[in-house]
Amino acid sequence: MDRPERERAASSARQEAAQLTAQNIHGVALTWVDNAGLTRVKAIPTTRLAHTARWGVGMSPVFDVYLTDDSSVMSRHIGGPDGDLRLFPDLDRLTLLAAQPGWAWAPVDRYEQDGEPYAACQRRFARRMTERAADRGIELRMGFETEWVVVRRGAADDGELAYACSGPAYGMARLVELSGYLRDVLEALAAQRVDVLQIHPEYSPGQFEISVSPKDPVGAADLVVLVRETVRAVSLRHGLDALFGPVVEPGGVGNGAHLHLSLWRDGRDLCRGGDGPCGMTDECEAFLAGVLRELPALLALGAPSPASRLRLEPSHWAGAFQCWGLENREAALRFVTGAPDDAGGANAEIKCFDPAANPYLVVGAVTAAGLAGIDAGLRLPAPVAGDPAVTGEKQPRLPTSPAEVLACFEGSALLRAALGDPLFEAIAAVRRAEAAQYEGVAPRDIAAATRGRY
């Protein structure tokens, strides 16, 4: 960031801070997401906002090699006790946190001390990839779904889960049981101007889901962080814990963080009105073919935890097969045509991703894979109908062990080039360490160790 840019940011932050103070907002939480998928924070008093916009706030780069259990490892470029970074809040995203009175929130970009962009900043990576798409005249719209399981406070720690409701999957009974809680979730999100599309009880015990309107890729990643922290805060106010781990109980249906995406050029939806499969344009088809091809490596970002391996089972609607289908919930890539008169209705959903993912890495890497598909003029294979585990149709299963996922990631020249060495190596180091950490650990213990961490 250059000097005039920082001066401008400081001057608008001064005005923001005055307004925040007038509204009794005393602290601003500045978040980013680490490579293990945990949202980390530095908070400042509102009175420091202008100073922080000008100079940033310090934070060690070591968090890029932190694991889910807060231990850390070394990677080729990052690790150890030395060095510092500056976190700069994106004040365009400054939001008053309705379920945390007195607090506001903003995501950050991370810079070196001398003001140079930090090579391993995940949010900057997402922005770079979005710009790469924009250079080709392509605008991407994305949105993450948020699934979570609600249990009575503290229940997650002692092994025995006490689900906060007992009604059936998708059951109105569950909504009635927790109507005050769910209303407060909606109220908090509305106060934060989050455009919620729907909220519903999901399949698993105590499970719910929220989906939100699509945004630009970085905006979608920011938004899923905000939605998750809002759900967490409202849950705590109700004496509940929100569990976002990929699996809560092994064998059951887990929590997904499906990514919806659509491509646009000059205001035209490239997912419809074309000659390709299901009305896709050639560009949309090639983009999705690029994503489909790269999925085994993308799992290291989108479904990264050893717990993710427990979720990604056939017949769990998680998308365990590397195939695509029209409205097929067992395909990793599900195409949705939407109602013919719904302008934004056509999109693709990547189902195999889960909430252990760093959403900035996900949107950036998916964009890189899709653009590579366009460059190579890829075509999609035939769509798959039904559950391959039931129909017996032979479809490639996505990697099933942490070691296999890591090998696919490390073998991806595409992702290495897109992420850049420092970020790529840090991610690989975290995956390698978590794979070793949970090797031979019983699924039940993996679930218990991870379900409350994200």
155 near 162, Cβ under 8 Å?
yes
At residue 264, the 3 state secondary structure works out as strand
String of contacts with ligand GLU for each residue 150-179, x by CB under 6 A: ------------------------------
Q: Which is nearer to ligand GLU, 109 or 202 (CB)?
A: 202
How many residues bind Mg ion, per CB under 5 A? 1
Least distance (Å) between residue 260 CB and ligand GLU: 11
Q: Which is nearer to ligand GLU, 254 or 304 (CB)?
A: 254
Q: How remote is the C-alpha of 71 from its chain's centroid?
A: 22
Q: Which is nearer to ligand GLU, 122 or 211 (CB)?
A: 211
Q: 293 touches which of ligand GLU, Mg ion, none (CB within 5 to 8 A by kind)?
A: none
Least distance (Å) between residue 423 CB and ligand GLU: 26
Q: Which is nearer to ligand GLU, 147 or 294 (CB)?
A: 147
Q: Which residue is nearest to ligand GLU (CB)?
A: 256
Tell me the Ramachandran region of residue 392: left when phi exceeds 0, alpha when psi lies from -120 to 50, beta otherwise: left
Q: 254 touches which of ligand GLU, Mg ion, none (CB within 5 to 8 A by kind)?
A: ligand GLU
List 317, 324, 360, 409, residue binding ligand GLU (CB under 6 A): 317
How many residues bind ligand GLU, per CB under 6 A? 12
DSSP for 372-402 reads: HHHHTT--------S-HHHH----PBPP-SH
Least distance (Å) between residue 354 CB and ligand GLU: 7
Least distance (Å) between residue 84 CB and Mg ion: 40
User: Hey, which residues between 181 and 210 contact ligand GLU (CB under 6 A)?
Assistant: 202-203
CA–CA distance, 122 with 64 (Å, rounded to integer):
10
253 touches ligand GLU (CB under 6 A): yes
CA–CA distance, 191 with 380 (Å, rounded to integer):
42
User: Hey, which residues between 91 and 110 contact Mg ion (CB under 5 A)?
Assistant: none
Least distance (Å) between residue 235 CB and ligand GLU: 18
List 89, 256, 304, 370, residue binding ligand GLU (CB under 6 A): 256
| Residue 66 DSSP code | B
349 near 329, Cβ under 8 Å?
no
Token digits for 126? Answer: 């997402």
114 near 6, Cβ under 8 Å?
no
Token digits for 435? Answer: 């794979």
Q: Which is nearer to Mg ion, 129 or 220 (CB)?
A: 220
Q: Which is nearer to Mg ion, 209 or 434 (CB)?
A: 209
CA–CA distance, 150 with 210 (Å, rounded to integer):
13
At residue 129, the 3 state secondary structure works out as helix
Least distance (Å) between residue 103 CB and Mg ion: 29
318 touches ligand GLU (CB under 6 A): yes
Q: Which is nearer to ligand GLU, 121 or 333 (CB)?
A: 333
Closest C-alpha to 90, from 52, 45, 141, 59:
52
List 329, 397, 432, 444, residue binding ligand GLU (CB under 6 A): 329
Q: State whether the Cα torsion 261-382-369-136 is positive or negative.
A: negative
β-bridge mates for residue 120, sequence order: none
In the chain, the amino acid numbered 1 is M
349 touches Mg ion (CB under 5 A): no
299 near 351, Cβ under 8 Å?
no
Judged by CB under 6 A, which stretch of 81-89, 124-132, 254-262, 434-442 contacts ligand GLU?
A: 254-262
Judged by CB under 6 A, which stretch of 134-142, 249-257, 299-307, 337-345 contacts ligand GLU?
A: 249-257
147 touches ligand GLU (CB under 6 A): yes
Q: How remote is the C-alpha of 427 from its chain's centroid?
A: 15
209 touches Mg ion (CB under 5 A): yes
Closest C-alpha to 169, from 197, 209, 116, 142:
209
Contact residues for Mg ion (CB under 5 A)?
A: 209
**Contact set with ligand GLU (CB under 6 A):** 147, 202-203, 253-256, 311, 317-318, 329, 351
